[in-house]
């Protein structure tokens, strides 16, 4: 497609950009009109605000804090994590670290991090002791297995299958330092772990009749539920058919779902939630509607793919964790139509448009059952008018206004190299609503200083923090960005939508999975794929987080200190 040929999405964006000043005043006005959503959220979550990708956050009242609590850092191409003066980082749970007495080790390429206070199930919110869940998105043949010449070598495949999935790791703060604690709940879910398919697609032909499947892969971003489970999102799952197919019984139809994992029970089998559809799941932004139904916003990270919303059939019961464990088995899946601001129902029996949808060339039905709709949600969604947008990556919900922020990374097919962040607001401030309106929040590019927005996280004051996933390097169109960076954006006040640089990552790395302790004093952040373009162990492009005595870069968490905490005035 030529750049001149504008997609529907770009025509819609054009209509919004010209109204930029109007948008800014609408944002300011929106805060005042937000109480209904904020109150609903407060009621559902016992007064705590919902920040940190669903992780608990200590309450800060209804106070905005409009300035960043740091002095911005300059862009650079250094092979280090650059932080503002007064901030420091500690390498924690790097790839390969031992996590339990069975000999399990932390996987490769850290992404989403879930923070589960160790006392969460007793109503606590410890900021010094927690189970972390770390998504391990994908392997790197050079660093994992070492065989770069034969991707299908069984030993190579085995090493890669063990390096992906999710790591559950207990960590504790002693003094100023965090450490991994050997805990019986520490475990690895990898590409060989038995997982159960639940919901409408379980046992159906579209998954080869399977009810139990092997592994969880492509674990990108995710979310946390109010009942203390992880939702891990299976994003890029197709490529393994070729590389792992012969050496394993890898089946891509068993991947590409949202999988729910209980970090508090090492014997609990991960559950794939087929009612939430199968696509390139990037993220899961979880909240509760006023009536207690669970609402999850999700993006399909692909050029010209859609934004989705799932609404559970049942309602959350704060006193019945066992019942909550089945809430995501059944519910309604919707796709966003940004041209009309409507959520379109992806239910074969209740939406005639799905029955009427035919392939333009062949005249054949696009889908013939609800199992087909869910197993290839993208095809069904596009067939009924879901709006193809520019790679929806993370989605997060503003803790004070209830607005839903969507990071659209970029889409070179339509000349959008830098991406943008848009925000939508549900009708009547009801997350279960059938319609919404939306605006642009920030636009990437040399003038705004950021590019390719990926993971988002709000602090409880309502400020947005964002990490980039950009091509990097000197002499590229992304040179202005430097290495991938982390930014802070006020969402109200005079600097609304303005990007303040908080951190710059090491060479070729992407920072992912930001999450704070509930007191706001430690930020955990993943450093993913440092040195990923290294051609051999003799030509490494990064040495970030190398083990003592070696120079091989390691994906890792870092624990960043220096934050004043949510209660502090800055
Ligand atoms: Fe795994 Fe779309 O980032
Ligand atoms: Ca991502
Ligand atoms: Ca990404």
Q: Cβ neighbours of residue 534 under 8 Å, at least 6 residues apart?
A: 142, 540, 541, 542, 553
19 pLDDT tier (thresholds 50, 70, 90): low
Distance CA 390, CA 409 (A): 7
Return the residue whose CA atom lies nearest to atom 1 of ligand 1.
220
Q: Is 234 in the pocket of ligand 1 (CB under 6 A)?
A: no
Structure tokens, 516: 């704070």
Number of Cβ atoms within 10 Å of the Cβ of 278: 26
Hunting for tokens 């109007």 — which residue is that? 22
The model's pLDDT over 65-92, given as tens digits with 9 standing for 90+, comes to 888 999 999 999 999 999 999 999 999 9
For the chain, give the longest Cα–Cα distance.
Answer: 67
Q: Is it the case that residue 42 has pLDDT exceeding 60?
A: no
Angle at CA 226, nearest 5°, toward 310 and 93? Answer: 105
SS3 letters for 398-467?
CCCCCCEEEEECCEHHHCECCCEEEEEEEHHHCCCCCEEEEEEEEECCCCCCCCCEEEEEECCCCCEEEE
Angle at CA 498, nearest 5°, toward 53 and 304? Answer: 60
pLDDT at 62: 60
Using alpha carbons, select from 477, 476, 475, 457 the residue that is nearest to residue 467. 457
- Please tell me the distance between residue 507's alpha carbon and the centre of ligand 2 in angstroms: 17
Q: Is it the case that residue 283 has pLDDT exceeding 90?
A: yes
- Please tell me the distance between residue 469's alpha carbon and the centre of ligand 1 in angstroms: 8
- Please tell me the distance between residue 108's alpha carbon and the centre of ligand 2 in angstroms: 15
Using alpha carbons, select from 218, 219, 223 the residue that is nearest to residue 294. 223
472 pLDDT tier (thresholds 50, 70, 90): confident
Q: Is it the case that residue 21 has pLDDT exceeding 50?
A: no
Q: Is 301 in the pocket of ligand 1 (CB under 6 A)?
A: yes
Query: Strands 464-468 and 453-458, how do they pair?
Result: antiparallel
| pLDDT, mean over the chain | 92
175 pLDDT tier (thresholds 50, 70, 90): confident
The model's pLDDT over 396-439, given as tens digits with 9 standing for 90+, comes to 999 999 999 999 999 999 999 999 999 999 999 999 999 999 99
Closest ligand, as measured to the CA of 235: 1
Q: Is it the case that residue 361 has pLDDT exceeding 70?
A: yes
Determine the average pLDDT of the residues in 365-380. Answer: 98
11 pLDDT tier (thresholds 50, 70, 90): very high
- Please tell me the distance between residue 19's alpha carbon and the centre of ligand 1 in angstroms: 30
Q: In sequence order, which ranges of 106-217 are alpha helices (DSSP H)?
A: 154-163
pLDDT at 27: 39
Determine the average pLDDT of the residues in 128-141. Answer: 98
Q: Is 282 in the pocket of ligand 1 (CB under 6 A)?
A: yes
pLDDT at 570: 61
pLDDT at 64: 77
Hunting for tokens 């440092």 — which residue is that? 530
Q: Which residues surround ligand 2, an ion (CB under 5 A)?
A: 393, 454
Structure tokens, 283: 């993220």
Q: Is 220 in the pocket of ligand 1 (CB under 6 A)?
A: yes
Using alpha carbons, select from 137, 146, 56, 116 the residue that is nearest to residue 469. 137
Ligand 1 atom at minimum distance from 111 CA:
1
Number of Cβ atoms within 10 Å of the Cβ of 548: 4
- Please tell me the distance between residue 302's alpha carbon and the centre of ligand 1 in angstroms: 9
Q: Is it the case that residue 490 has pLDDT exceeding 90?
A: yes
Ligand 1 atom at minimum distance from 236 CA:
1
Query: Strands 293-299 and 392-397, how do they pair?
Result: unpaired
Ligand 1 atom at minimum distance from 218 CA:
1
Ligand 1 atom at minimum distance from 301 CA:
2
Distance CA 450, CA 467 (A): 9
Using only the alpha carbons of the chain, give its radius of gyration.
Answer: 22
User: Per CATH, which fold does 8-561 belong to?
Assistant: Neuraminidase (2.120.10)
pLDDT at 4: 53
Distance CA 451, CA 407 (A): 11
- Sheet strands side by side (includes 404-408): 392-397, 404-408, 420-426, 436-443
- Please tell me the distance between residue 32's alpha carbon and the centre of ligand 3 in angstroms: 33
Angle at CA 232, nearest 5°, toward 165 and 211? Answer: 80
pLDDT at 18: 59
Q: In sequence order, which ranges of 149-296 are alpha helices (DSSP H)?
A: 154-163, 240-244
- Please tell me the distance between residue 471's alpha carbon and the centre of ligand 1 in angstroms: 13
Structure tokens, 311: 């609404």
Asked if residue 113 lies in contact with residue 136, where contact means CB atoms within 8 angstroms, the answer is: no
Q: Is 235 in the pocket of ligand 1 (CB under 6 A)?
A: yes
């Amino acid at each position: 497609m030529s750049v001149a040929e504008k997609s529907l999405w770009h025509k819609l964006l054009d209509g919004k950009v010209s109204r930029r000043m109007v948008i800014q005043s609408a944002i300011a006005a929106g805060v005042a009109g937000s109480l209904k959503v904020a109150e609903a959220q407060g009621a559902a979550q016992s007064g705590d605000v919902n920040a940190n990708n669903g992780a608990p956050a200590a309450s800060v009242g209804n106070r905005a804090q409009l300035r960043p609590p740091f002095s911005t850092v300059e862009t650079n191409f250094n092979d280090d994590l650059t932080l503002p003066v007064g901030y420091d980082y500690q390498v924690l749970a790097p790839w390969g670290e031992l996590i339990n007495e069975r000999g399990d080790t932390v996987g490769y390429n850290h992404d989403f991090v879930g923070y589960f206070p160790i006392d969460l199930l007793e109503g606590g919110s410890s900021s010094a002791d927690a189970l972390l869940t770390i998504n391990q998105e994908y392997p790197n043949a050079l660093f994992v297995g070492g065989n770069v010449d034969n991707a299908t070598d069984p030993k190579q495949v085995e090493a890669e299958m063990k390096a992906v999935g999710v790591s559950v790791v207990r960590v504790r703060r002693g003094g100023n330092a965090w450490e991994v604690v050997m805990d019986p709940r520490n475990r690895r879910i990898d590409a060989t772990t038995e997982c159960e398919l639940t919901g409408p697609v379980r046992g159906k032909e579209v998954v080869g009749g399977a009810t139990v499947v092997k592994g969880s892969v492509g674990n990108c971003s995710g979310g946390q539920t109010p009942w203390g489970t992880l939702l891990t999102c299976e994003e890029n799952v197709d490529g393994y058919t070729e590389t792992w197919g012969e050496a394993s019984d890898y089946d891509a139809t068993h991947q590409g779902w949202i999988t729910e994992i209980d970090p508090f029970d090492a014997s609990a089998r991960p559950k794939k939630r087929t009612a939430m559809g199968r696509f390139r799941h990037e993220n899961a932004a979880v909240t509760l509607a006023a009536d207690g139904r669970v609402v999850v916003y999700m993006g399909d990270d692909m050029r010209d793919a859609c934004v989705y919303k799932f609404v559970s059939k049942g309602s959350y019961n704060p006193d019945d964790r066992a019942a909550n464990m089945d809430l995501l088995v059944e519910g309604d899946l919707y796709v966003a139509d940004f041209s009309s601001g409507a959520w379109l129902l992806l239910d074969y029996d209740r939406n005639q448009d799905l029955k009427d949808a035919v392939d333009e060339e062949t005249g054949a039905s696009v889908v013939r059952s609800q199992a087909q709709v869910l197993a290839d949600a993208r095809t069904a969604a596009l067939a009924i008018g879901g709006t193809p947008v520019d790679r929806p990556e993370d989605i997060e919900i503003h803790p004070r206004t209830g607005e839903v922020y969507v990071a659209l990374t970029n889409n070179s097919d339509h000349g959008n190299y830098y991406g943008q962040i848009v925000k939508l607001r549900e009708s009547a401030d009801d997350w279960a609503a059938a319609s919404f309106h939306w605006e642009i929040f920030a636009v990437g590019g040399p003038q705004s200083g950021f590019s390719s927005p990926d993971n988002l996280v709000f602090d409880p004051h309502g400020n947005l923090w964002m990490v980039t996933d950009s091509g990097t390097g000197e002499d590229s169109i992304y040179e202005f960005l430097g290495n991938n960076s982390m930014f802070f954006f006020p969402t109200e006040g005079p600097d609304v939508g303005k990007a303040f640089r908080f951190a710059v990552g090491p060479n070729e790395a992407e920072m992912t999975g930001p999450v704070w302790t509930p007191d706001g004093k430690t930020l955990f952040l993943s450093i993913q794929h440092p040195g990923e373009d290294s051609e051999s162990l003799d030509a490494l492009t990064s040495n970030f987080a190398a083990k003592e005595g070696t120079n091989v870069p390691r994906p890792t968490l870092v624990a960043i200190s220096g934050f004043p905490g949510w209660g502090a005035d800055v």
